A and B are shown apart, each in its own frame.
Chain A
Amino acid sequence: MILETYPPDASSFLKQEKNQFANPVGNTILQEIEDIYEELLHGRDSEKLSDFLDRIIKIRAIQDFSPAQAVAFIFHLKNAVREELGGEIRNDQLFEELLEFEHRIDKLALIAFNTYMKCREKVYEIRVAEVKNRVFSLLKRADMIGEISEQELDIREENIDSVV
């Protein structure tokens, strides 16, 4: 389902190619979504979940998705459960369990949003770091940065003292 949010040709490629290295996108998503599901069912801690989410969202954060699209897949888990287990839920009156499960999914969505923002911030951080690295080393070489050294600081303090 997540794979289907990719453009059609891409999604079928992602589904078909099983090799982790020839098709890292599909592989990562499949692997992680399995793990997320496991964790959700057992209602485990959010830290581990955010780890799994991290890998999927990292990919989606730099692809052509809007922020909403990038994390919307979390809600597809609800549909997956309703679709697959709808009959059972109705027959066995498992509505409370369903609500509890969906509550967990909602929490997951919030974590996903955080993760997405973290990835985007990382991208900008990388951009800035790259520019800074380029400019800074150049300026330093060109002796154009007046970094205040310890020595200078001492001298200045002395001067101040003498004025006082």
Chain B
Amino acid sequence: MSEDLSNVPKPDELMRIDHKPPRKGWMDVPVDFKPGTYSYTAKAKNLKILGMPNPREWSPTDEDWKLPENWEEIVREGFKDRLDKYRSFQLFMDICVRCGACADKCHFFIGSGDPKNMPVLRAELMRSVYRKEFTTSGKIFGKLAGARELTVDVIKEWFYYFYQCTECRRCSVFCPYGIDTAEITMMGRELLHLLGCGINWAMEPVANCFRTGNHLGIQPHGFKDTLEFFADDIEDLTGIKINVPLNKKGAEILFVVPSGDYFGDPGTYTCMGYMMLFHELGLNYTWSTYASEGGNFGLFTSHEMIKRLNAKIYAEAKRLGVKWILGGECGHMWRVMHQYMDTMNGPADFLEVPTSPITGTRFENAKSTKMVHITEFTSDLMKHNKLRLDPGRNDNLIVTYHDSCNPARAMGLIEEPRYVIRNVCNHFHEMPENTIKEQTFCCGGGAGLGNDENMEMRLRGGFPRGNAVRYVQEKYGVNRLACVCAIDRATLVPVCDYWAPGVAVTGVHEMVANALLMKGEKERTTNLRGEPLPGKEEVEDE
């Protein structure tokens, strides 16, 4: 018996089977496209309608990607062009010292362990080519200087890893030089698009948005139907008939939301929330069927595409003759509105400095762009006691708040939503400090990656967030995760379902509407989701 025991293989021997093969340098490890970790490619029809290059049917698992014949030249030219146009790009190619501070800050690296998901290495995928093509030392010393040839394998690697970055900017918070991987990913995707290599879950919304005004291709009559459908639901709940102003000329405010809010649950409840709030205020506002999308997947495509899609916001504000623009709860939409819109499609000199018609507050922080975030608007109302609220109606919810990447790190919108939440619910608990505010973790499905074929990668990326949610779930019994982002409202649902089952996702204005005491409303027995209100459970049963 003791004989047998000594014959048992030693742990290290067994371990060797489990180890990955002896590690090669990262440049020599080609990409392996496994199902569940990449997104399907853009359909030809979507590229055609946008006039984008090389439309074709193909798959990342194909050996031949059907790149244009002179693809190297296209990449080289495109690279050079962008170096000349963007100081950020040039600088970020040059000054990284590879200190590694960013390495463990990426949710995809934390969740997957794949070294190329370290932000520094994600950027090196591009820098290596930059050195070879554009620097003397790279040309002379080659691999020694961290340079490498531009090959088809490099393009494949770019496609894999630049569509494994959600442009959340968390790494740039920790970088001593502020190197922003989102910026590098955006350039990488622009170059890939020159070759016709995009993903359909980004390009179909872009194509739809271009033609019909929103990501889902909902046509004007469909949009009207949808909002009226919500109005009916609201009437059932409150007994109040809400009218839906659409394409109304001479309204004071143009209201723009991400289409996720009127398309999929639970975003729809947030949308109803806006409608109820505006009705209660008697706001002179309008929706637009043409500018029926605040979200902008151009941000996940190219700078040019951001501008092409964003143009309709100001154009529609001008056509309708509104005074200013109010924007709903959305993450990347607000990066575009805050950091790009005015520069790209401004100046908006035909609009007025936004002023709340209810409180008279002038939104000085939006005096040039003339667009206000809904939580800035609502928090102002609350500060001035203009809303009658019963937070007790949300007593069945124990809430935590997820800062969406772009509002937190590209805008600094941190306290406004919290102020609103504290006013409409009694049980609010923060997640641990290094997972919120500017250090917030991404949902794992931003930047066009929120498709279902990519689910495993999303769950990996969503793990740090899910882990923090689970922590407050166990500690405080949290059952509702609030956020101000339409993508979050779609992608955090599976993240919570997998990592912290039992926690549902909500928009902030859904909770506002639940707490809102409306003039002439009948006694509500349920909240917008049809869940019985606290204290009304028995009524429900009877």
- Tell me if B414 counts as interface (CB < 8 A to partner A): no
Contacts of A83 in B (CB 8 A): 10-11
CB within 8 A of A4: which of B9, B19, B37, B490?
B19
Q: Quick check: which of B51-59, B236-244, B419-427, B462-470 contacts chain A, the rest being far away?
A: B462-470
Question: CB within 8 Å of B: which of A9-46?
Answer: 9-11, 13-14, 17, 19-25, 28
CB within 8 A of B5: which of A23, A86, A123, A141?
A86
Q: Judge whether A63 and B222 touch: CB under 8 Å.
A: no
A82–B412 Cα distance when bound, in Å, is 55
User: For chain B, which range describes its interface: under 10, 10 to 19, 20 to 34, or 35 or more residues?
Assistant: 35 or more
Contacts of B456 in A (CB 8 A): 62, 123
A29 to chain B, nearest CB (A): 12
Q: Which of B2, B34, B110, B268 counts the most chain A CB atoms within 10 A?
A: B110
Q: Judge whether B14 and A22 touch: CB under 8 Å.
A: no
Given A7-B114, A63-B460, decide whether A24 and B467 contact each other with a Cβ distance below 8 A. yes
Question: CB within 8 Å of A: which of B480-507?
Answer: 490, 493-494, 497-499
Contacts of A114 in B (CB 8 A): none
A78–B268 Cα distance when bound, in Å, is 52
Q: Judge whether B263 and A127 touch: CB under 8 Å.
A: no
Q: Judge whether B265 and A10 touch: CB under 8 Å.
A: no
CB within 8 A of A10: which of B8, B115, B468?
B115
Given A14-B113, A138-B216, decide whether A76 and B463 contact each other with a Cβ distance below 8 A. no
Contacts of A21 in B (CB 8 A): 432, 434-435, 464, 467-468, 471
Where the two chains meet, the residues of B that have a C-beta atom closer than 8 Å to any C-beta of A are 1-2, 5, 8-11, 14-15, 18-20, 23, 34, 36-37, 103-104, 110-115, 216, 222, 225-226, 229, 263-265, 268, 432, 434-435, 452, 455-456, 459-460, 463-464, 467-468, 471, 490, 493-494, 497-499
Shortest beta-carbon contacts, A-B, top 3: A10-B113, A24-B467, A79-B11
Given contacts A4-B18, A62-B456, 7 further A-B contacts (CB under 8 A): A7-B23, A7-B115, A62-B460, A126-B498, A129-B497, A130-B455, A142-B222
CB-defined A-B contacts under 8 Å, sample of 19: A6-B113, A8-B23, A10-B113, A21-B434, A21-B471, A23-B110, A24-B110, A62-B459, A64-B37, A76-B11, A80-B11, A82-B5, A82-B8, A95-B1, A123-B36, A123-B459, A126-B494, A130-B490, A138-B216
